[in-house]
Structures are given as C-alpha cells and as structure tokens.
C-alpha cells in the first residue's frame, strides 16, 4: 500500500534536490506531486497527476503501480500507468468472490503484459497505441427501478463510447481488507457499522481512482487526421480515442476531483478555469491535445453557492451537476437497499434533467415541495442533506467514502460461495 507513496515522494526528491537529480539522469518522470497542492494549487495538482497517470507503464517488469521512468511521457507504443491498475470489473467479480492480489500476474485478467507496440504512427503528428480494451465495456441491463439508465456501456453515452474505471493499489487493498468486493460483503459491513463493530468507510490517503471515456472514431466521424490527436485504442476491430479522464484522489478528506477532455470536446459551460496551464513537457506529445476541464475541492463556494463541475462526454445529459455531490450519494445498507439519493442530489442542482429521468414533478416527489416555489428551486444545494441517509429516524445508508464503483459495479453480482471467515465482523 505504501509503495506508491514512497514512489511519489522519491519522485519529488528527485525533482527538487539537485543531488538526486544528478544521480538519476535517466529519471524521466517529471511530475511533482505534492498533497498540499490539492488545496493550494488545484490546477497545478491536476496537471501533475495527469503527467503521472499518463506516464508509460513499466512493461519491462509488468509491475502495476510504478511507471517506467527511463522513457518519456508520450512515447509511441506505450500504454499508460493508470491502465496497468486494476479495472473495476477485476475487483467486483461476477461471482462475488475475493479478487486476487493487486500484483498477481498469472490470471487471464492481467493486462499490462499485453501492451502491444504501436501499429502505426500518423504522419509524425501523434501516435497511436493499441491495447486491450476487451474488459472496458460493461454490459448493463435496462434502467433499474430508480430510472438510472446504463451510462457506461459501449452503446451508452454518445451511443458508441465506453467508460473505464480503474483503481490504484491503495484503493484496491482497502476494498480487499474490508471485504467490500461484493453486494453481500457491503451489507455485512453496513450491519457492522450499525452494531458499532466497524467505522464508516474511509479510504487511505494514497487512494486514487480514474474513469476514462473513449469515443468510437467511426461513429463520431472523426477524420484520420484528427484521430492522430487522440490517445487511441482498438477493440473488436473498432478504433477508439480517449475523450475524457476523470481523476479523484484522497488527498483531502472529501477527495480531490479533476477532469480532463480532448480539445475537440463539445462546449461545456460547467468547468473551472485552468490556472496553471499545460506543462511544457506535454507540448510535443499527444497529450498536448487534452485540456483541464476543471477541479473541485468542496461542495460549496465560500458564499454557500454550490460548486459545479462536469465533463461534456461523461456527464452528457446532466452537465449541470457536481462530482462531489453526486458521489456523496453512493451508500450501502444492511439490507442492500439504497434509496434514491443520487437522483435527489441532481434534483437539488437541476431538477429538469431528462438524461437521468428527472423532471420538476418527479423531483418534488423525491425531495419535497418545500424546496420549490413557482416550479423553480428556491436555492440550489451543493452539500448533501442529512435526511438522504436516514430511514425511519435512524441512519440506514452509509457512505462508501465517495466511491461509486463499489455500489454500481456490485449490482446483480451475488456471492456464490461463502466469503472468507475474516469478512464476518
Ligand atoms: C450523477 C452522478 C455523478 C456525477 C455528477 C459524477 N459521477 Fe462519477 N460516477 C458516478 C457513478 C454512478 C459511477 C460508477 C460508475 C462505474 O463504476 O463505472 C462513477 C464513477 C466515477 C469514478 C470511478 C471511481 C469510483 O469508484 O467512483 C470516478 C473517478 C469519477 N466517477 C469521477 C467523477 C468526476 C471527476 C466527476 C465530475 C467531473 C463525476 N465523477 C461526476 C456518478 C456520478
């Protein structure tokens, strides 16, 4: 669990101390991640994380959580660091069983070993790397009873895009240590909280998760020339380009939130200004075509107004939303029920959101008439309401510490054999 941390701190030392810099001439990892930047310089922090996450993974050793610092970022044919992390579907297995060790390489699920060489370079303008996307696409059923439609299926958002969620060692290990990999494990954990045996879920400070969105070049009519401006992948004979990258880190208690998108993304009014600017290092690589969409470190501004942040691809159809607010509604309970909190969160920002099956009338029935006058919200709210977590006067829904993959990816996946004894709290 500590490896990443040690690594990051050694990278900082290398970058800030001349003695180390001289010794490590081959250290091409140029990111400088400081936890305090999350609050003090959030845009700069976002770019440092972007450089770390998109640095080539180490295909020589196949290790999952330390990039290859002997080659520069943007090297053709490489696969990036976050792609070597564990995919959510390798964590929340369909038979509800315990996932393997983070470093395990023998299973078929291990993908970094399959990092292929670039198949072509387009006119020297950029590069394309091809990698295994076979597990990125989660097949989802019809909308569930809360009306949430499939958001991340290959034919979901933008009709032909796909979403991919991956977690680092710290996040993964916490889920393993706390038996949170299955729906039943989460119910047992909620019961243990009620019985005073466990504390609320709180991931270690080294935890990071990303969610990537890919667009289908053919379906979106992206020209050959423009394709070279994307970080690319191929799956089932189709070519995809990375359109967005959501990043969250536990640098601060309610997580640090950032999102990047390709320069050609549709216009979105719900970002925040990039106060740092793109690092020079990226300007000769394919990554120069990506923009910081915004950062978020709190529910509200000092005035109490909600903070808003979204990505034009991932939050397509509900752009007037707030990462931190929606994620605060990911909950577990002892009977597995969830309550419609995700929709309530959206109702308090944009009651009229057909993309999520919401209208003013539906929102009135979800959050109560008291928040509306003349069919309009009285005050938008960015902070969660305590009532979201209560049933029959008692706390019944316990937050998953903002991580939505826990509750989303375990839906319909039941334990088929008893969990390890240590999971019965
Ligand atoms: C309307 C609710 C909603 C909003 C708004 C939202 N998300 Fe999410 N997010 C989800 C759900 C649901 C998932 C789980 C999907 C999955 O596992 O594929 C998720 C997954 C993620 C993940 C994967 C990690 C995890 O376990 O949660 C990241 C990272 C993420 N979102 C970042 C963001 C960022 C950054 C923003 C704002 C720019 C944002 N999200 C806005 C609902 C939301």
* Highest-scoring range by mean pLDDT, 96-100, 168-172, 208-212: 168-172
Look at residue 292 and tell me whether its pLDDT is greater than 60. Answer: yes
Its pTM stands at 0.85
Task: Check residues 53 and 146 and name the one with the higher pLDDT.
Answer: 53
Q: Which of 58-62, 282-286, 304-308 has the lowest mean pLDDT?
A: 58-62
Kindly indicate the confidence band of residue 163, based on its pLDDT and cuts at 50, 70 and 90.
Answer: low
The reply to whether ligand 1 has any atom less than 6 angstroms from the CB of 87 is no
Look at residue 131 and tell me whether its pLDDT is greater than 50. Answer: no
Asked if 160 contacts 176 with a C-beta cutoff of 8 angstroms, the reply is no
Asked if 228 contacts 74 with a C-beta cutoff of 8 angstroms, the reply is no
Query: In whole angstroms, how far apart are CA 125 and each of 38, 83, 225, 226, 313?
Result: 33, 23, 9, 10, 24
Residue of 278, 276, 328, 320 whose CA lies nearest to 298: 328
The reply to whether ligand 1 has any atom less than 6 angstroms from the CB of 405 is yes
Asked if 298 contacts 257 with a C-beta cutoff of 8 angstroms, the reply is no
Point out which residues pair with 56 in neighbouring strands: 80
Instruction: Count CA within 13 A, CB hemisphere, residue 117.
Output: 2
Asked if 267 contacts 312 with a C-beta cutoff of 8 angstroms, the reply is yes
Q: Which of 23-32, 374-383, 407-416 has the lowest mean pLDDT?
A: 23-32
d(CA 212, CA 232): 12
Task: Check residues 148 and 383 and name the one with the higher pLDDT.
Answer: 383
281-302 burial: b if 16+ Cβ within 10 Å, else e: bbeebbbbbbbbbbbbbebbee
- Give the pLDDT of residue 425: 93
The reply to whether ligand 1 has any atom less than 6 angstroms from the CB of 203 is no
The residue whose CA is least distant from atom 29 of ligand 1 is: 210
* Average of per-residue pLDDT across 18-32: 64
Asked if 305 contacts 313 with a C-beta cutoff of 8 angstroms, the reply is no
Counting residues of the chain whose pLDDT is more than 70, the rounded percentage is: 79
**Mean of the per-residue pLDDT values of the chain:** 80
* Average of per-residue pLDDT across 12-32: 57
Query: In whole angstroms, how far apart are CA 62 and each of 8, 24, 101?
Result: 18, 21, 14
Q: Which atom of ligand 1 is nearest to the CA of 148?
A: 12
Kindly indicate the confidence band of residue 26, based on its pLDDT and cuts at 50, 70 and 90.
Answer: low
Question: Which of 167, 254, 327, 354 most suits a substitution to test ligand 1, by most atoms within 8 Å of the C-beta?
Answer: 327
Rg (CA), the chain: 21
- Give the pLDDT of residue 8: 42
């Amino acid at each position: 669990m500590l490896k990443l941390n040690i690594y990051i701190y050694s990278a900082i030392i290398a970058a800030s101390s001349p003695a180390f810099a001289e010794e490590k001439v081959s250290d091409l990892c140029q990111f400088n991640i400081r936890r305090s930047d999350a609050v003090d310089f959030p845009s700069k922090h976002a770019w440092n994380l972007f450089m770390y996450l998109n640095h080539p993974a180490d295909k020589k050793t196949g290790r999952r959580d330390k990039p290859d610092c002997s080659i520069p970022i943007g090297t053709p044919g490489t696969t990036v660091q976050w792609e070597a992390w564990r995919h959510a579907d390798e964590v929340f297995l369909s038979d509800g069983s315990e996932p393997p060790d983070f470093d395990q390489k023998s299973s078929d699920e291990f993908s970094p070993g399959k990092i292929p060489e670039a198949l072509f370079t387009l006119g020297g303008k950029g590069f394309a790397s091809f990698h295994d996307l076979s597990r990125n696409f989660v097949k989802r059923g019809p909308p569930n009873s809360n009306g949430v439609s499939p958001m991340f299926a290959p034919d979901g958002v933008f009709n032909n895009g796909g979403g991919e969620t991956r977690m680092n060692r710290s996040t993964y290990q916490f889920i393993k240590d706390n038996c949170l990999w299955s729906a039943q494990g989460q119910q047992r954990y909620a019961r243990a909280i009620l019985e005073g045996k466990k504390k609320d879920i709180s991931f270690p400070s080294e935890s990071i998760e990303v969610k990537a969105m890919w667009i289908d070049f053919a379906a979106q009519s992206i020209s050959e020339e423009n394709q070279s401006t994307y970080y690319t992948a191929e799956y089932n004979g189709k070519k995809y380009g990375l359109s967005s990258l959501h990043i969250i880190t536990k640098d601060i208690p309610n997580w640090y939130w950032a999102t990047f998108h390709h320069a050609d993304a549709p216009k979105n009014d719900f970002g925040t200004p990039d106060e740092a600017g793109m690092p020079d290092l990226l300007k000769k690589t394919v990554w120069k075509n990506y923009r910081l969409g915004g950062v978020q470190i709190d529910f509200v501004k000092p005035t109490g107004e909600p903070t808003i942040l979204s990505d034009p691809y991932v939050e397509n159809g509900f752009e007037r939303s707030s990462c931190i607010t929606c994620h605060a509604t990911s909950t577990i309970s002892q009977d597995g029920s969830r309550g419609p909190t995700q929709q309530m969160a959206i109702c308090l920002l944009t009651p009229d959101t057909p993309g999520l099956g919401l209208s003013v009338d539906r929102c009135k029935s979800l959050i109560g008439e008291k928040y509306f006058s003349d069919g309009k919200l009285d005050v938008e709210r960015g902070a969660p309401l305590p009532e979201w977590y209560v049933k029959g006067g008692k706390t019944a829904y316990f937050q998953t510490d903002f991580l939505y993959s826990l509750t989303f990816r375990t839906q319909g996946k039941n334990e088929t054999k008893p969990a390890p004894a240590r999971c019965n709290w």
